[in-house]
């Protein structure tokens, strides 16, 4: 990185907020992507921690004039290498933009700065008497800005959808340095192209989000959970559309392969409560009235038992629910050293059983081990490509291509919530036509004529 860059950044953000020492920079160049497929980070970077959008505007104007690459950094919890700089870059860390600006009870909205973490947001609404924000991806270190541009989802998407469904307005600093506001606390807004929604899922390539307005919802106090076991993966996923068709919308329907859960439970010194079957569906239910909760629970058990369930357990106490969730959350860490890639495809829920069959067939064809768990209720089951050592097998590219083609052939998508980042760009052509790709590149050029913002991410490196 050029010597004068740090000096200019110090002039904008102050001496204390610029990091140039190699150890300091090293902690800002990686994310949570599996090491076998993660992009190679460039360490020749300088980190700056601006205090507000004005400083970010100054940095971007300077970088754009000098054609220096910039990467915005949120919590660094991404799983697609989006935040990893691959060229000498200015890394703009958003951590000082950490204020909740306003909780607007009357309009049921919260305005916050982009560096507010999911944990801060959860904490705010734990203490609020009647409102909450529903989206909850699995790592509470994620920042709201990162969740916006990654269009994060998570287990509660069955009922509440993804970030896109709750973002009402943004403040964004464009790569050329101008600050714009989009949307507002509105229920309707039909004025021109929707720039708010263009920013959502843009993976830090179109602008730096500095403020966000999110919609809030009344808290629902009655919750319960069910763990229902099956002998057969196909039978398990086939009940999902049957339940949804009855108008039952659980908070979450998670698909949990038993091997995964047993290993995780053993790791934690806990016991997985189900004994029978090879795969479980875990339902989290939240209803305004207790009687509705009981009625819906019974109906789910009935539907599952009519479709081959071999055991149904109700997690009655908060302690039982916590233990199941703890084991579920530890499922990934318990196998992390062997994971090569976590696929993030989504399939229409009615086609899940065909997809799971197809995955088994491809696993057999390639001699691969591909256990799965994830969000069955919204068709986003994560398939884990694993090896003993966690290193890529020789046939990794062919196997992952076939898995993506399978998903696409069933009306699916190659990434539901983790994003394209720097690991799926070369796969975009499997899903999109040349025309799609051309339109997306054109949009990128309009926002970022000098291609300074996070190049190599998303559509960025498909030529
Ligand atoms: C254990 C674990 C579980 C997870 N579970 C889920 C899950 O259930 N659902 C889900 O959707 N994801 C999940 N994730 C992925 C991750 O948490 C989300 O993608 C999250 O939205 C990333 O936010 P971040 O702040 O960490 O972003 P980062 O990783 O810091 O950045 C991601 C991208 O966003 C850009 N960016 C960050 N902040 C801004 C900003 N303010 N303006 C512009 N660009 C910005 C970066 O440049 C980069 O391109 C999980 C991750 C882990 C480690």
Whether 213 and 232 map to the same domain: the answer is no
Whether 310 and 236 map to the same domain: the answer is yes
Per-residue pLDDT tens for 175-189? 999 999 999 999 999
**78, 141, 162, 456: residue to mutate for ligand 1 pocket, most atoms within 8 A of CB:** 78
Q: How many domains are contained in the chain?
A: 4
- Tell me if 463 is assigned to some domain: no
CB proximity list for 443: less than 8 A, separation 6 or greater: 198, 206
Whether 235 and 311 map to the same domain: the answer is yes
**Count of alpha carbons within 13 angstroms of residue 410, beta-carbon side:** 24
CA distance 283 to 314: 10
Q: Is the CB of 393 under 6 A from ligand 1?
A: no
State both tokens at 213: 């307005």
Q: Is the CB of 153 under 6 A from ligand 1?
A: yes
Whether 106 and 26 map to the same domain: the answer is no
CA distance 225 to 301: 11
**55, 163, 204, 209: residue to mutate for ligand 1 pocket, most atoms within 8 A of CB:** 204
Q: How confident is the model at residue 320 (pLDDT cuts 50, 70, 90)?
A: confident
Helix orientation angle between 352-366 and 233-245, rounded to the nearest 10 degrees: 160
CB contact at 8 A, 175 and 451: no
**117, 137, 179, 420: residue to mutate for ligand 1 pocket, most atoms within 8 A of CB:** 137
What is the mean pLDDT of the segment spanning 368-381? 93
Whether 71 and 158 map to the same domain: the answer is no
- Tell me if 367 is assigned to some domain: yes
- CATH number for the domain harbouring residue 125: 3.30.465.10
Shortest-distance Cα residue to atom 17 of ligand 1: 77
Ligand 1 centroid, distance to 228 Cα (angstroms): 31
Helix (H) or strand (E) holding 287: strand 279-287
> Hunting for tokens 């949570």 — which residue is that?
32
Quick check: 462 pLDDT over 60? Answer: no
Per-residue pLDDT tens for 442-460? 999 999 999 999 999 998 6
Ligand 1 centroid, distance to 145 Cα (angstroms): 8
pLDDT of residue 318: 80
- CATH number for the domain harbouring residue 400: 3.30.70.2740
Ligand 1 centroid, distance to 105 Cα (angstroms): 27
Per-residue pLDDT tens for 77-103? 999 999 999 999 999 999 999 999 999
Q: Is the CB of 277 under 6 A from ligand 1?
A: no
CB proximity list for 210: less than 8 A, separation 6 or greater: 52, 53, 56, 94, 97, 113, 114, 145, 171, 172, 173, 179
**Count of alpha carbons within 13 angstroms of residue 272, beta-carbon side:** 28
Q: Is the CB of 146 under 6 A from ligand 1?
A: yes
> Hunting for tokens 């256990």 — which residue is that?
371
Q: Is the CB of 145 under 6 A from ligand 1?
A: yes
Domain ranges, residue 24: 3-96
Q: How confident is the model at residue 463 (pLDDT cuts 50, 70, 90)?
A: very low
Coil, helix or strand at residue 342: strand
CB contact at 8 A, 237 and 453: no
State both tokens at 157: 């998407």
CA distance 193 to 6: 38
Ligand 1 centroid, distance to 78 Cα (angstroms): 4
Per-residue pLDDT tens for 123-132? 999 999 899 9
List, in sequence order, every beta strand (DSSP E) within 65-194: 69-73, 89-93, 100-104, 109-113, 131-132, 167-173, 179-183
From 141-155, 313-327, 368-382, the region with the lowest mean pLDDT: 313-327
- Tell me if 455 is assigned to some domain: no
Of all atoms in ligand 1, which is nearest to the CA of residue 152?
A: 11
**pTM of the predicted model as reported, rounded to 2 decimal places:** 0.95
CB proximity list for 352: less than 8 A, separation 6 or greater: 237, 238, 240, 241, 376, 379, 381
CB contact at 8 A, 34 and 341: yes
CA distance 335 to 330: 9
CB contact at 8 A, 57 and 210: no
**By CB neighbour count within 10 A (0-12 exposed, 13-18 middle, 19+ buried), where does 205 fall?**
buried
If one counts every other C-beta atom within 10 angstroms of the C-beta of residue 438, the result is 12
> Hunting for tokens 């009855």 — which residue is that?
246
- Tell me if 446 is assigned to some domain: no
**Total residue length of the chain:** 463
**90, 97, 138, 196: residue to mutate for ligand 1 pocket, most atoms within 8 A of CB:** 138
Whether 271 and 354 map to the same domain: the answer is no
Which of 61, 76, 96 marks a domain boundary?
96
CA distance 26 to 45: 9
pLDDT of residue 460: 65
Considering only CA atoms, which of 244, 225, 216 is closest in space to residue 134? Answer: 216
- Tell me if 448 is assigned to some domain: no
Coil, helix or strand at residue 102: strand
């Amino acid at each position: 990185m050029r010597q004068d860059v740090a000096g200019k950044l110090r002039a904008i953000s102050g001496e204390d907020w610029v990091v140039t020492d190699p150890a300091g920079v090293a902690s800002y160049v990686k994310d949570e992507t599996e090491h076998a497929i993660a992009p190679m980070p460039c360490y020749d970077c300088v980190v700056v921690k601006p205090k507000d959008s004005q400083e970010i505007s100054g940095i971007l104007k300077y970088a754009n004039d000098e054609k220096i690459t910039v990467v915005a950094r949120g919590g660094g919890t991404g799983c697609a290498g989006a935040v990893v700089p691959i060229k000498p870059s200015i890394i703009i860390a958003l951590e000082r933009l950490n204020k909740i600006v306003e909780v607007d009870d009357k309009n049921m909205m919260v305005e916050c700065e982009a560096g507010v973490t999911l944990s801060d947001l959860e904490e705010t609404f734990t203490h609020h008497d009647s409102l909450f924000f529903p989206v909850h991806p699995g790592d509470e270190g994620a920042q709201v800005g990162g969740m916006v541009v990654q269009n994060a989802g998570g287990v509660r998407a069955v009922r509440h959808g993804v970030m896109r469904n709750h973002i009402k307005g943004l403040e964004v600093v464009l790569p050329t340095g101008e600050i714009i506001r989009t949307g507002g606390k509105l229920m309707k807004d039909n004025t021109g192209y929707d720039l708010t929604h263009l920013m959502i899922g843009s993976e830090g390539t179109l602008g730096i989000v500095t403020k966000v307005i999110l919609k809030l919802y009344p808290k629902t106090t009655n919750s319960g959970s069910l763990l229902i076991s099956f002998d057969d993966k196909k039978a398990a996923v086939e009940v999902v559309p049957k339940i949804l068709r009855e108008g039952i919308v659980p908070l979450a329907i998670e698909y949990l392969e038993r091997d995964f859960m047993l290993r995780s439970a053993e790791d934690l010194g806990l016991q997985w409560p189900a004994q029978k079957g090879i795969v479980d569906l875990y339902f989290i239910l939240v209803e305004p009235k207790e009687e509705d909760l009981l009625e819906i629970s019974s109906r789910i058990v009935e539907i599952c038992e009519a479709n081959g369930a071999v055991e149904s357990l109700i997690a009655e106490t908060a302690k039982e629910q916590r233990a199941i969730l703890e084991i579920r959350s530890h499922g990934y860490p318990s196998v992390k050293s062997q994971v090569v890639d976590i696929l993030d495809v989504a399939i229409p829920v009615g086609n899940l059983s065909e997809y799971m069959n197809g995955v088994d067939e491809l696993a057999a064809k390639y001699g691969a081990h591909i256990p799965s768990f994830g969000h069955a209720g919204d068709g986003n089951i994560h398939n884990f490509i694993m090896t003993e050592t966690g290193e890529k097998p020789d046939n990794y590219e062919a196997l992952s291509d076939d898995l993506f083609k399978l998903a696409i052939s069933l009306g699916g998508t190659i990434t539901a919530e983790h994003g394209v980042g720097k690991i799926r760009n070369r796969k975009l052509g499997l899903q999109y036509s040349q025309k799609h790709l051309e339109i997306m590149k054109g949009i990128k050029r309009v926002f970022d004529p000098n291609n300074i913002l996070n190049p190599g991410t998303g559509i960025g490196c498909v030529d």
